[in-house]
Amino acid sequence: MSGLHRVAGNQLTLLQNGTEFFPRLCADIDAAQHSICLETYIFAADGTGQMVAAALQRAAARGVVVRVMLDGFGSAELPQHWVDELRTAGVEVEWFRRKISPLTLRRSRLRRMHRKLAVMDGEVAFVGGINIIDDVEGYSGFFVPRLDYAVRVQGAVAGEIHTAMRRLWSAVSWANFRGRGKRIQRFVFDRLKQVAASDIAFLLRDNLRHRRDIERAYLRAIAGAQQEIIIASAYFLPGRVFRRALVQATRRGVRVVLLLQGRVEYRLQHYATHALYDRLLAAGIEIYEYQASYLHAKVAVVDGQWATVGSSNIDPFSLLLAREANLAVQDAGFAGELRASLLAAIANDAVRIGDEYGGTRNLMGRLIARFSYGIVRLLVGMLGHRRGGS
């Protein structure tokens, strides 16, 4: 069981994988008295999805206002009858950009809602990278959960998260021509508070004022690092600014460790990342590939003092197209717990990519990596990403 950390008047609990996350989520849903907001990229029609859906339906049955926002791409495979059952039970469901043409490259149509958030009564919240989906994968007769994290927050930050979710709900429901009238007034707005403490920050990525907040938080932490940087990212394809910051850290004598995807999930992104390995290794950056199952984490720890957990990968698609949410925490206890978990994953379930990586790859491997990187750069350019950005 994870420890409880008190930071700036908030109580934080680090949750690893669905085995810790889903029981706590459902317990807090069952304890909610007034309102529940849930946002997820993927809501799967599997055992985990059924468990969470049942908890949401129980809450609606006892008079709690329940709102669920699903991404139209990530949750596209959710059967319509699941959505109908939720709505029949009294759960309000909205879709973020339900329909999308596979041929369009218009950035406005490709933007996704990649956040994984939940808030109960404006007082308890969850922030992280875990979708509503069975997170166990089978390999060679063994069943191992995808490596992922979330944070349970109790305190003023939960109110701030509630405010952000309420605003997105209003915008999307208006865009979908489905205003909620008086039901909106039933939410617990008077409990919402702004968090002034610098030791904990709720970070958003949107297309307006907060376009680069998550990226800037990473860059500030990296620039201030004195001893160690550990980053775990399922999809890692940073721009030049981010890469330069990591290289400069190694030149200051900082140990930089990357825990990256070891299993091929999306080939284009996977091999595009490989195109960066030679330069990163040459700079003295340690690279480990997670092997036990799929890596889905989007977390980092700096100097054992600063940590972030959330939904944002370090790649142009997260930083350009997706609505994301991370929690940044300045606390040795919380950061130390996450650091210990990552170091255990590196020691037990990852392989280190050696300095000989470039020399041992065959010509075809090099061509595939360079071609994949070129295609990603072309797509990013077509979508209007700023040259040299990260």
Residues involved in catalysis:
114, 116, 121, 296, 298, 303
Give the helix ranges, DSSP H, for the chain: 17-31, 47-61, 80-88, 107-110, 156-175, 213-224, 240-251, 267-274, 277-282, 316-320, 332-349, 357-360, 363-382
- For residue 273, what is the DSSP state? H
Q: Quick check: 307 and 335 in contact, CB under 8 A?
A: yes
User: What is the rounded distance in angstroms from the CA atom of residue 338 to the CA atom of residue 352?
Assistant: 20
86-87-91-92 Cα dihedral, nearest 10 degrees:
130
Q: Residue 388, by phi and psi: left (phi above 0), alpha (psi -120 to 50) or beta?
A: left
How many degrees, rounded to 5, is the angle at CA 316 between CA 356 and CA 163? 130
Nearest to 230 by CA among 172, 181, 300: 300
Residue with tokens 């491997």: 365
Q: Quick check: 9 and 156 in contact, CB under 8 A?
A: yes
Nearest to 70 by CA among 40, 29, 98, 90: 40
